[in-house]
Amino acid sequence: MLTLFSIPKAFHGDTATIQRNAIQSWMRLRPSCEILLMGEDPGTADTVREFGLRHIGTVKRNVAGTPLVSDLFARATEAASHDILCYVNADIILMSDFLAAVQRVLGHLKSFLMVGQRWDLEVKQALDFSEGWEADMKARARSAGRLHGPTGPDYFVFARGMWRSVPPFAVGRTAWDMWFIHEARCLKVPVVDLTRATTVIHQNHGFSHHPGGKEGIWQGEEARQNLALLGGYRNACTLRDATHVLGPDGVRRRLIPYDLKRCLVTPVTTHPLMKPWVRILKSVAGFRRSG
């Protein structure tokens, strides 16, 4: 039914624990999903062999050695056994409600991009996947976790052939995830927010995998290049820009006041003669730039 693909970091220390937790949660989805692990970082090939998954080792990288989103998506789409694919970050725990939500959307829409918010949670130990583990994780998320804001979606569900051309973004840096929502909107493809129907858990982690740490990831040269490829903050779409939402009553179109704000403010900010009205419109509409 679904091909999941991801590109893990090196399997060292807490990162190894977090990624093994995530991958084992994907393996428990029913009906079973195809899982593609990509890249050549230490531990990836060993994990593929241990869990009996599929491996795509070679992914194009930029001059800094960071894998490129364009090649990641192209290779996964070519190799996938299913026509519905899901990119998911390797620190994300998925549960049965995720696949149930995907199936519900598939029953309503022929074209789509499915995204959603995540719950940020401290998980430092290997999970016990015995009976009742999902209920325990959901309870932990709501008692000790935090629902992340509308930026930074960590998964994308889409149909094969949807993307015309993906820019060569650096994986794991800023801005590239926003491009997929923006591109879906440009293609007039429904963007469906699954947040209300799922509990997707992001296991909190550090940033030692980047020599510049968190600041390097968010403000370094690769981040600046990603933002340029996005076309700047004017194209920075978040979950506020989802056109549909999945709720108890099924898929429905959202009323998007935020869309109205963008429609009102963007033309004003791009026409110098109307700049005096910018402050007034921002105040009235409560506009806040995505990003």
Find the CATH number of the domain harbouring 140.
3.90.550.10
Outline where 8-95 has alpha helix (H): 13-27, 44-51, 69-79
Same domain (yes/no): 37, 164: yes
CA neighbor of 257 nearest in space, from 290, 291, 289, 286:
286
Q: Give residue-wise pLDDT tens across range 203-239.
A: 996 555 445 545 555 567 999 999 999 999 899 999 9
The 10s digit of each residue's pLDDT in 134-165 is 999 999 999 999 999 999 899 999 999 999 89
121 is a domain residue: yes
Domain span at residue 268 reads: 255-285
Whether residue 207 is found in the same domain as residue 85 = yes
In whole angstroms, give the CA distance from residue 156 to residue 200: 12
With respect to residue 270, please indicate whether it lies within any of the assigned structural domains: yes
> 149 and 265 in one domain?
no
Q: Is the residue at 291 inside a domain?
A: no
**Pick the residue with more confidence: 288 or 237?**
237
Question: Based on the domain organization, do 204 and 269 belong to the same domain?
Answer: no
Report the C-alpha gap between 158 and 7 in whole angstroms: 17
Instruction: Specify the number of domains making up the chain.
Output: 2
Question: Are 223 and 260 in a shared domain?
Answer: no
- Looking at every residue in the chain, the average pLDDT score rounds to 88
Burial tier of 232 (Cβ tally within 10 Å: 0-12, 13-18, 19+): exposed
